[in-house]
Amino acid sequence: MRASVVALARSVWKGPYFVHFPNLQESIQHGTPIKTMARSCTIMPHMIGALFEIHNGKSYVPLRVTEDMVGRKLGEFSHTRKRFSYQLSKNK
């Protein structure tokens, strides 16, 4: 059973969870990717245009931040599970 979204929301007085990336301006200006494992970091408006490589448990997935992503988490754009596809084998 999954908890409701309301129970998982961060309290307003704490503010959004944010990780300081020291090379954020360099990433926006020159396009150098920022490797991070902080999947729970909230995307803020000053991060628009930055290039991130988000760890999904196995590899780093590239992500360019746009305006539509503001307020969401970095981990929402880096899936951790592969899609299951059933393939019929020829050996029958």
Calculate ∠ Cα 64-20-26, nearest 5°.
Answer: 50
Average pLDDT, the chain: 88
33-72: per-residue pLDDT in tens? Answer: 999 999 999 999 999 999 999 999 999 999 999 999 999 9
Q: Are 78 and 55 in contact (CB under 8 A)?
A: yes
pLDDT attached to residue 83: 87
Calculate ∠ Cα 1-76-45, nearest 5°.
Answer: 130
Query: What global pTM score does this model have?
Result: 0.78
